[in-house]
Structure 1
Amino acid sequence: MTNLLQIGDVRFGAGSPLALIAGPCVMEDEELTLAIARQLLEVKRELGIGVVFKASFDKANRTSVTSFRGPGMEKGLAILDTVRRQTGLPILSDVHDVAQVEAAARVLDILQIPAFLCRQTDLLLAAGNSGKVVNIKKGQFLAPWDMANAVAKVVSTGNERILLTERGTTFGYNNLVVDMRALAIMRETGCPVVFDATHAVQLPGGSGTSSGGQRQFVAALSRAAVAMGIDGLFWEVHPQPEKALCDGANSLPLAQIKAILREILAIDAIVKGRVSP
């Protein structure tokens, strides 16, 4: 059983009901960001699921130098602060550099370490020293047991408020595969474990100057991960994924997520012993 981690009214671990981290890949503008957050708040109220809003203010790891990166840190954090004040949802975003951590920690509830940066010691230490919850995404190049070292770096700061997120492992060129055993292995660290189902179906660099994706597999992989007893799901969502400026190919349409979540929450309740099969 993982340790309990509570952020506002959202609980991860210790047998708590499944929580959802969701939002657009990157903020496109304030109006759309707020609209997505409000729809996720409706999902929370209707289904009774804990929701954390996520969106990146700067996607520093885009495939091409011409790819849309977001509004930048200053404007992006201002938008996220507005989302939190208007919806009450806890907020998560990425930090890519030590210099971003202090300002981000003034706004965010969860600092996310991108998968490509999960071995960057100085970034992990700075995030840990912020005192905020740290969500470390497992690198596509790492074995699940190697995440114990990333956890140890954050814990060395005295901060044990850590989430670990699986997002697939590199499998040949422009492809990822999910080893469901990794979810159980990472839970051995004592940290709650989240499954990033939308990035798990990404085809990195698969479209030449951008990544492709196979969103048709998001629901199935989510159900499988929930059956493993995970603590949270991570989904990128958008009202019109085909028009999204980042990761549209692997994002879920907002209109579909309630139906998918109802199935998933039923599985979660069985796995965690709240109802009989």
Structure 2
Amino acid sequence: MNVREIHVGNVTFGGGRPLVLIAGPCVIEEQSLTLRIAEYLKKLTDELGIGLVFKASYDKANRTSIGSFRGPGMDEGLEILAKIRREFDVPVVSDVHDISQISAAAEVLDILQIPAFLSRQTDLLLAAARTGKVVNVKKGQFLAPWDMANAVKKIEEAGNNQVLLTERGASFGYNNLVVDMRSLVVMRETGCPVVFDATHSVQLPGGAGTSSGGQRQYVGALSRAAVAVGIDALFWEVHENPDAALCDGPNSLPLDGLRPMLHEILAIDALVKGRA
């Protein structure tokens, strides 16, 4: 099924276009590291001829424990994201957790991302929609894929049809997630481009007690499967040294493993979309 095209800077989602990569660290740890990751991703995606949207959170408001690292905060974080947007000519996306953040975030971000836990928060969805920015809604781990039509309708009722929907796994018992690939097909029936968040789909929420665990060894397999279904974008959290990352390290990918994985994935994408 073809879905509507959504243009974000020099990147186009949907309409049978080539796969877009949304990638970056889970959270902004410090400026120099974030800039190095952005530079690496920009060079890699330019080499491969695919669109890149850089992602990183300025504040992770939904960490497992009170002592977990949350990021530099909105002001400093948005400054860093603006620098990346300017220096590397890439669109940027980050989470908004509260209506009070939206105005400042919309000044910098190309895409406003609604976290999965907040995907039913009507006022947050409406406020994000009214900025006129593209809104990426992550499907709650507690929601069925057909429930996301309600989130889309809320945003469209506010006069905005620039909506991306992201699958990031569904709760499966305690501290575990599972991916139903039918979800990708169901959500595309809304006419919205669909993103598969492969790295959060292998997360083990709260599985390490005071933090989440993860199984990054399965990211490649799930990514290939999702691309074979016909998604519009792939979402990966990446890091120079995932084992030392301050957030979501167990489910993040190392930079040096991205190139061979993307070569395989892009071959599948081309075949599925009739470009092989």
Shorter-normalised TM range: over 0.9
Q: How many residues align?
A: 275
After TM superposition, the structure 1 = structure 2 runs for residues 1-277 of structure 1, keeping only pairs within 5 Å, are 1-275=2-276
Q: Structure 2: how far apart are the matches of 1:66 and 1:19? A: 34
Give deviations 1:103-151, integer Å, cap 9, x for gaps. 0000000000000000000000000001100000000000000000000
- Offset of residue 235 of structure 1: 0.1
Paired letter, 1:262: H
Paired letter, 1:162: V
Give deviations 1:73-110, integer Å, cap 9, x for gaps. 00100010011111001000000000000000000000
- Offset of residue 173 of structure 1: 0.2
Paired letter, 2:208: S
Q: Structure 2: how far apart are the matches of 1:127 and 1:238? A: 28
SS at match of 1:106: helix
SS at match of 2:29: coil
Q: Structure 1: how far apart are the matches of 2:110 and 2:61? A: 21
Paired letter, 1:27: I
- Offset of residue 17 of structure 1: 0.3
Paired letter, 2:169: G
SS at match of 2:3: coil
Structure 1 unaligned blocks of 5 or more: none
Q: Structure 2: how far apart are the matches of 1:239 and 1:259? A: 16
SS at match of 2:68: coil
- Offset of residue 8 of structure 1: 1.3
Give deviations 1:227-250, integer Å, cap 9, x for gaps. 000000000000100000000000
- Offset of residue 61 of structure 1: 0.1
SS at match of 1:274: coil
Q: Structure 1: how far apart are the matches of 2:55 and 2:263? A: 21
SS at match of 2:34: helix
* Percent sequence identity over aligned pairs: 70
Structure 2 unaligned blocks of 5 or more: none
- Offset of residue 6 of structure 1: 1.1
SS at match of 1:194: strand
TM score, norm. by length of structure 2? 0.99
Paired letter, 2:26: C
Q: Structure 1: how far apart are the matches of 2:248 and 2:194? A: 23
Q: Structure 2: how far apart are the matches of 1:222 and 1:75? A: 32
TM score, norm. by length of structure 1? 0.99
Give deviations 1:152-195, integer Å, cap 9, x for gaps. 11101110000000000000000000000000000010000000
Paired letter, 1:242: D
Q: Structure 1: how far apart are the matches of 2:46 and 2:234? A: 17
Q: Structure 1: how far apart are the matches of 2:13 and 2:264? A: 19
SS at match of 2:217: helix
- Offset of residue 16 of structure 1: 0.2
Q: Structure 1: how far apart are the matches of 2:149 and 2:185? A: 13
